[in-house]
Structure 1
Amino acid sequence: MRIAVFIKKTTFHKGYGGIETQNKSLCEGLTKRGHEVFVFSPKLELDRNSIVENGVRYIFVSCAFKMDGFFGERNKDNWFTRSAQRFEEEHAKQPFDVVIGQSSAAVGVIKRKWELNIKVVSVAHGTIISEYKTFLNNMVGLREWIKIVSNTGYVLKSFFSRQREYVHGSEKVVAVSNFVKSALVDETFVDAQKVEVIHNGVDGGARPIQAHPNNQPLKLVYIGRLERSKGLQNLLKAISRLNNVTLSVIGDGPYLPQLARLVKSLHLSERLIFVGRVAPEKIPEILSQANVFVYPSLRYEGFPMAVVEAMFCGLPVIASNIGGISDALENGTTGYLVKSGIIADLRDTIREFVNKPDLIRKMGDAAYAKAQREFNLDTMLSKYEKILEDVVK
């Protein structure tokens, strides 16, 4: 198949995260299976118009990407208009068989799909109300209260137009977790049969590590964006009251200065390392040096890739029971789900691994087995292929 993929950012852009990583794996995996894949994305800060990487062709569209308020789409250079025009140019050269839209990125094509004679499958990584609830739950200071006006306008526009446009305008919608599917059905009233859950897949990982000896520190690791909504401030407070525990933080983001100050005030400098962003291929090596992966999120996550990556490396996981995270974990078997934002719950769960180090190997083995069984890349690709083939028929 000749496949066009629409996404608002790629791994070539600054500040990319799980959605962009998942999209890269999906596109490169489909290419390896013999499909021809083109990715359309805003140019933003990039200095090139196109690039080919691992068989996938990326086309970067010059456009006015930010469309604030209710009238942003009147700008003829907005992303939805320009992306549809650029797609039409490529479609005229050689027709595409199907379009994949990451979230609402393909709305411009969806609005013209009958004219362009193309079918669309969209991927939902979350919902607009879930994102808004995350924003409200993490508001701090006057600046956040000022932002609430513009954010509420964006939410209303997305809730009543963009989200419903891409959900109802697509032939099929993929939700990355059962939580996302349920929220999407509630918010858009889409027929549940139209939405299929496909969990994000990962291309393997290192074998499970050995449990740490009783006389060595418990080595915790976190991988992800450094934002207040990721809950790292709660993790720091939790480990400050525990002995024999260290933490490595992998990633970057706007919340780093606040976290650094908190580390100093809690006297954690000798037990915590900010590693920064690392190349994806280096992640398994870093995870293999840890004992437990911790994901203390305050966000209504769709299905975080970092959790699955840790499981593939044989790490038990402590994660907030919020959003779609529970799709990945079996509480008490592959790790523990804790109450989001409750520091005492997080602290006591970490202490469980300190006091019972044998759990590290036992739960780590179970996490690895579950990841291999349910979240491998081949399983994800096969499910996407089937949906795409059924839609094209």
Structure 2
Amino acid sequence: MTRSTLAHGFGGFQRQCIDLCEGFVSQGHEVTVLTTAHPDGIEKEVQAGFTVHYLTPSRPKKLSRPWFKESKRIIEEIHQRTPIDVIHSNEFAGAGIISWAKRNNVPLAVVCHGSLRTELLSFLSSADKRPRYWHWLFLTPMFLLKRCLMWEMPMRRAASSIILVSPTLERDFRLFSRGKVKVIENGIKLPDRREPIIQSGKLRLLCTGRADSQKGFQLAIKAVSEITELDLHLDIVGTGPYLDELHRLVDNLKLHDRVTFHGRVDDDELARIYSSADIYLIPTLRHEGLPLALLEAMAHGLPTISSYIGGNTDVITHDHDGLFITAGRLDELVTSIRRLGSDPAARISISKAARETTERRFDRDRMVRETMETLYSMS
């Protein structure tokens, strides 16, 4: 159960869901996915051996009371045909079936990518003085608190297991979680190893992911504008609500020949873009659990400049397999780009170390295996 899949957008949250489903199927398990409405109105489809139901009493990516009610109805139908052994809920998607699961002795696993604390910190980190922000300064925290009390806390009580994607979240899950928490770090399919190559000429910077203000893509664009002594080009892959604002920023700074927006691309094209990049930027303002985009970049051997925030802090060792900057500090981002841009030896060293880190810790098969072991232990 999940509020979004790759049909809804391009991001780590969606990719992890699909990777787990494909991994479960490859081990011989029967998998059904319940998610929110498809953007194109599709109600049901089979992909990679598992069935996906897009429940229409909802908007894409938005959980709601009608969605919870419909998900319960579908689960009851499935259970009558083939008894369900375990329910894997991506965050709060399973809130509507807590009572049903208890009555039918079906164990519930909840995977969490963040917490109330990280959500609030991420919201506050994007503060500005526009009237609309100050309006939402009160409404958004109230909404997050309401969601925590109505969805998160009941899910914690009901769950047999709570899976966290990063150790940085553990301290936020002490209440109603004793003996339930299991840290299973995100994993990715590792691309073929390639030797780092220092190319002469243009230096290509890369940002990927959902385009919203908290991802910090605007800082990357401003950094390109400030660094005139290096021949830089910034590629931005992804779509989202902030994309128009980023286009306007590029227009205002007259950077059309130095910034390219690729939109959403398929896996083959994304791999090509990773392979052509020299430095990966993740100047996020958001306290994320563990961004898959960061792992993908490191797996491709890209030296990464990352905000020291959220689960990123548990992945990178500064000056070894990446560089850290303070979240929101444009001056530090500029300094780090200049450093890597003018020091090919440092780029090669960090590139090799980044690949070694992902091979050692963040393989997708390891993530699937540990998740299956947790689900087996519940049944």
TM-score, L = length of structure 2: 0.93
RMSD: 2.1
Partner of 2:186: 200
Distance 2:3 2:319 in 1: 37
2:332 equivalent to 1:345: yes
2:263 equivalent to 1:269: no
Match of 2:144 among 134, 142, 155: 155
Deviation per CA, 1:328-383, whole angstroms, max 9, x where unpaired? 21211111111100111111111111121112221111111111121111111110
2:18 equivalent to 1:24: yes
Equivalent residues, number:
376
Q: Letter of the 1:62 partner, please give it.
A: T
Partner of 2:363: 376
- Describe the SS at the equivalent of 2:310: coil
2:11 equivalent to 1:9: no
Distance 1:264 1:66 in 2: 31
The offset of 1:44, in angstroms, is 4.9
Q: In structure 2, do the counterparts of structure 1 residues 208 and 67 end up closer, same or farther at CA, with 3 Å as the change threshold?
A: closer
2:114 equivalent to 1:129: no
Distance 1:282 1:118 in 2: 41
Distance 2:143 2:41 in 1: 29
What percentage of aligned pairs have identical amino acids?
30
Give 5+ residue unaligned stretches, structure 2.
none
Q: In structure 2, do the counterparts of structure 1 residues 120 and 35 end up closer, same or farther at CA, with 3 Å as the change threshold?
A: same
Match of 1:283 among 244, 248, 270: 270
Q: Letter of the 1:168 partner, please give it.
A: R
Please list, as runs of the form range in 1=range in 2, the aligned pairs for 1:1-393 lying within 5 A after superposition: 6-13=1-8, 15-64=9-58, 73=65, 78-140=66-128, 141-185=130-174, 188=175, 190-191=177-178, 193-213=179-199, 215-242=200-227, 243-244=229-230, 245-392=232-379
- Describe the SS at the equivalent of 2:31: strand
- Describe the SS at the equivalent of 1:324: helix
Q: In structure 2, do the counterparts of structure 1 residues 131 and 259 end up closer, same or farther at CA, with 3 Å as the change threshold?
A: same
Give 5+ residue unaligned stretches, structure 1.
1-5
- Describe the SS at the equivalent of 1:111: helix
Deviates more, 1:242-251 or 1:30-39: 242-251
- Describe the SS at the equivalent of 1:200: coil
Deviates more, 1:97-106 or 1:149-158: 149-158
Q: In structure 2, do the counterparts of structure 1 residues 16 and 79 end up closer, same or farther at CA, with 3 Å as the change threshold?
A: farther
- Describe the SS at the equivalent of 1:112: helix
Deviation per CA, 1:132-172, whole angstroms, max 9, x where unpaired? 22222214422233334542332121122211111221000
Distance 2:360 2:276 in 1: 23
- Describe the SS at the equivalent of 2:261: strand
Q: In structure 2, do the counterparts of structure 1 residues 167 and 280 end up closer, same or farther at CA, with 3 Å as the change threshold?
A: farther
CA contact (8 A) 2:282 2:306 kept: yes
Deviation per CA, 1:226-274, whole angstroms, max 9, x where unpaired? 1111111112222222222221111112222222222233332222111
Deviation per CA, 1:14-59, whole angstroms, max 9, x where unpaired? x352211110011011101111111011225442321110101112
TM-score, L = length of structure 1: 0.90
Q: Letter of the 2:6 partner, please give it.
A: T
Q: Letter of the 2:204 partner, please give it.
A: K
Q: In structure 2, do the counterparts of structure 1 residues 51 and 66 end up closer, same or farther at CA, with 3 Å as the change threshold?
A: closer
The offset of 1:83, in angstroms, is 0.8
CA contact (8 A) 2:196 2:352 kept: no
CA contact (8 A) 1:120 1:170 kept: yes
